[in-house]
Structure formats: structure tokens, C-alpha cells
């Protein structure tokens, strides 16, 4: 894939997608009532923020793919829901899972970007 700074191989993009999905699903582990106690040292709001910054950085590198906007909006709403006094884990879980699913739609090569 051609980028502003050179080329990324398809394998590099696949690895970035895999890493991004892992980061997104780690948030889920940190907020899930069944597993949150295992990650009590994690500041979930900072986790959300760092993930959103990472995606923002990928935006230019991956040539402004619209899926990145969808991923960010889903994660931003998950953060809002997490901080809501009436926090509903099911709603937050769905938003995070949907964000992870959107990552799979990111294009991996120039031929897909056309």
C-alpha cells in the first residue's frame, strides 16, 4: 500500500489490523464486570484515549479510509457509555465488538483502495 511516507506491505497492514483489534478487545476485558478486577490497575479512560490517538495517527498513514471514522466513533461512544452513571455493559460491549469488526474492513493494498 502506498502511503505518504513510502510503502507498507500487505503483511504489515495485516499485522497492524491484528494489533489494533487486540487493543480494542483488551478494552473489553478491562470493563467487563467478569474480568475487570484482573485489570484494576488500568485507567480505562486513558486506555480509550490512547487507542483513539493511535487510530487518529493511522488515519493519515492508511489514506483516510472511512472505516477509521466508524471505528473511532464506535469507540468514542463506548467511552461515553462507560462513563455514564447508568453504565450498561451490554451496550458498551456491542459498540466495542462492532469497532473490532470494522477493523477487518480496512483495506490492505492499493488495489483495494481504488
Cα gap 63→51, rounded to integer Å? 18
Structural domain including 48 reads 2-113
Residues of the chain above pLDDT 70, percent: 96
Question: In 3-state terms, what secondary structure has residue 41?
Answer: coil
Q: What is the pLDDT of residues 43-76, one digit of tens each?
A: 999 999 999 999 999 988 888 899 999 999 999 9
How many domains does one find in the chain?
1
Please tell me the pTM assigned to this model: 0.90
Amino acid at each position: 500500500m502506498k502511503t505518504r511516507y513510502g510503502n507498507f506491505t500487505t503483511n504489515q497492514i495485516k499485522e497492524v489490523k491484528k494489533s489494533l483489534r487486540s487493543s480494542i478487545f483488551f478494552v473489553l476485558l478491562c470493563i467487563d464486570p467478569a474480568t475487570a478486577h484482573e485489570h484494576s490497575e488500568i485507567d480505562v479512560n486513558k486506555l480509550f484515549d490512547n487507542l483513539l490517538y493511535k487510530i487518529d495517527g493511522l488515519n493519515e498513514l492508511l489514506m483516510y479510509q472511512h472505516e477509521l471514522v466508524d471505528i473511532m466513533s464506535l469507540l468514542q461512544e463506548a467511552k461515553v457509555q462507560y462513563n455514564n452513571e447508568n453504565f450498561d455493559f451490554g451496550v458498551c460491549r456491542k459498540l466495542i465488538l462492532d469497532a473490532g469488526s470494522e477493523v477487518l474492513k480496512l483495506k490492505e493494498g492499493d488495489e483495494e483502495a481504488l
